[in-house]
Amino acid sequence: MSVERALVLAAHEMSEPAGVELKRTTSQLALGWSLNSALTDLSERMPSRELNVLVRTIIIQSTAGGALASALHDIALALEDRKQLHREVRTAIIGSAFSAYLVPIIGLAAIILMNMMKPGVLDSMASSFIGRIILLAALLCFGIGALLMKLVSRVEV
């Protein structure tokens, strides 16, 4: 199957906006544009790293010859690997974001549990100078820990 015919089939199968853009590319090819020009125009209209790699691969393979199917298969495998890595990173980020919310809750629960086990311990801590320093230090540590976990979980994929 020729590249032009494959583009026509892909244009009919794909939904918007990619389908419309591929139909425009196939129209350009029907009007006499070169494959190189039409695909380059497509990659300029739809800026995407994956599409750019695909366009460059098709152009190189059609110019130099070779196994286009093999090259496209390799691109498909690389894209699948990238999607899998993206899912794994998102899972790790969600876990650390959850921990960022959980750490202060555990600290508050520990204080409440301590006060329930020995009523008045929180009052005695809050009434003494050293107790206030300890409570403020604990509050500061929990706040900094939660903030650091939030900052670490901000990863662009």
- Where helices occur in the chain by DSSP H, the ranges are 3-13, 18-30, 35-45, 49-64, 68-117, 121-127, 129-152
Mention every residue, 6+ apart, whose C-beta is less than 8 A from residue 59.
Answer: 35, 36, 39, 40
Location of structure tokens 């152009």: 59
Question: Using an 8 Å Cβ cutoff, are 126 and 135 in contact?
Answer: yes
157: helix, strand or coil: coil
* Predicted TM-score (pTM) of this structure: 0.51
Question: Using an 8 Å Cβ cutoff, are 53 and 75 in contact?
Answer: yes
Query: pLDDT in tens for each of the 157 residues of the chain?
Result: 577 888 888 888 888 888 888 899 999 989 999 988 999 999 899 888 888 888 888 888 877 777 777 777 788 888 888 889 888 888 888 887 788 788 888 888 988 898 899 998 888 888 999 989 998 998 899 888 888 887 877 776 6
